[in-house]
A and B are shown apart, each in its own frame.
Chain A
Amino acid sequence: MKELVLNGTKQTPSVNFNAVSGMLELSGRSIPENSFEFYNPLIEWLNEYTTVALDLTKIKVYLEYFNTSSSKYILEVLKKLKEINEIAGKEVSVEWCYDEGDDEMMETGEDYEDVTGLQFTYTEMEE
């Protein structure tokens, strides 16, 4: 399965989804003009990954800022991972990173954790 690599821009986050290592990364700013266009390939990649998922999949989310429509798609990404966890019985861990002192972003991670039921670890990144 091909890895999914997208370079970040001022409006979109960088993406590095690697099926071989089971490491997924999403970082930067997410305010795309068309969130569907940006996130749909990620969801499709995850649909395919579900069938070949490793025993442990790690996702690192380090977002500085995201808009409302992105928040919906981030939830979809995490729910896809929850499916891998629940249906395929594979372990999934989420590392939620946030800038030093950005309590709002940490609380946002907690909200995602509540809704998805996935195991989150929180990392405060030094500036």
Chain B
Amino acid sequence: MARINKEKKEDIYLDEAFFLTRSTQFLQEEDKSVSETKAELKTLVTNYAELLDQVKLITRISDRLQRKLDQTNDELNNMNQQIQEKNIQLEKTINDLTEAKIGRRATTFVFVFALALFLISEALIEPWIERFYNNFLISLSIKGLIALSIKPVESLVERSLLKKERARTLKTSEIRG
């Protein structure tokens, strides 16, 4: 298979190979006259000149194409770098937006949570304290505890929602990929 491919590639030099074979055979024959030798040499020189023209041209064109490819490669690399930078910026923006969205959701959750705790405290705990202890300080401490628990609960909820959101994004990108 490799040999066939090689032969195919060499097809482009079919004429040149033919003249080379012809001249080689001519050299092996001994009973050639001066005029025959001159004629053969003339053919060989003509073909050599033709080949030299081709080599010069092809080399110039190849060098130029190589330069063009290099330039295109450089442009592609630059574009790639720009895309990567934009990607990082985009990722950061998406993260910021997600965090803000999650933050709002967490605040809403904590607000409802705090309200529920306050209502529970007012409706159930407060009367219970009044009934058994009747101590203002205990009542105040419980309310203070509720107020102090808001921030840590918010952080906890935010972290948990963010983790969930990231897992969901990762799953979506895996499905798309």
| Interface of A (DSSP majority class) | helix
Minimum CB–CB distance from B2 to chain A (whole Å) comes to 15
B contacts with A: majority SS? helix
Please state if A35 and B61 are interface contacts (CB–CB under 8 Å). Answer: no
The answer to whether B8 touches A108, judged by C-beta atoms less than 8 angstroms apart, is no
- Give the interface segment out of B63-71, B149-157, B161-169: B63-71
Interface residues of A in 15-55 (CB under 8 A from B): 34-37
| B64–A71 touching, CB < 8 Å | no
* Interface hit among B19-27, B52-60, B73-81, B108-116: B52-60
**Are A104's CB and B68's CB within 8 A?**
yes
The answer for the CA separation of A106 and B153 in the assembled complex, in Å, is 71
A93 contacts partner chain B, Cβ-Cβ < 8 Å:
no
Known: A71-B57, A111-B57, A112-B57. A104 touches B65 (CB 8 A): yes
Q: Whole-angstrom distance between the alpha carbons of A108 and B58 in the complex?
A: 10
Given A34-B8, A36-B14, A68-B62: A115 and B57 interface contact (C-beta under 8 Å): yes
Interfacial chain B residues near A112, Cβ < 8 Å: 57
Q: What are the residues of chain A within 8 A of B64 when measuring CB–CB?
A: 104, 107-108
**Within the complex, what minimum Cβ distance (angstroms) separates B123 from chain A?**
76
Residues from chain B with a CB closer than 8 A to the CB of A125 are none
Closest to B8 in A: A34
How far is it, in angstroms, between the C-alpha of A73 and the C-alpha of B12 when the chains are bound?
A: 8
Q: Give complex CA distance A73, B60 in Å.
A: 15
Give the interface size bracket for B toward A.
Answer: 10 to 19
Cα A53 to Cα B175 with chains together (Å): 62
We find that the number of chain A residues with CB closer than 8 angstroms to chain B is 18
Contact indicator per residue, chain B 66-106, by CB within 8 Å of chain A (1) or not (0): 01100000000000000000000000000000000000000
Q: Which residue of B lies closest to A68 (CB)?
A: B62
B58 touches A72 (CB 8 A): yes
Question: Is B36 engaged at the interface, CB distance under 8 Å to the other chain?
Answer: no
What B residues does A123 contact at CB under 8 A? none
Supply 25 A–B pairs (Cβ within 8 Å), ascending by A. A34-B8, A36-B8, A36-B12, A37-B8, A65-B65, A68-B58, A68-B61, A68-B62, A68-B65, A69-B9, A69-B12, A71-B57, A72-B12, A72-B54, A72-B58, A73-B12, A75-B57, A104-B64, A104-B65, A108-B60, A111-B57, A111-B60, A111-B61, A112-B57, A115-B53
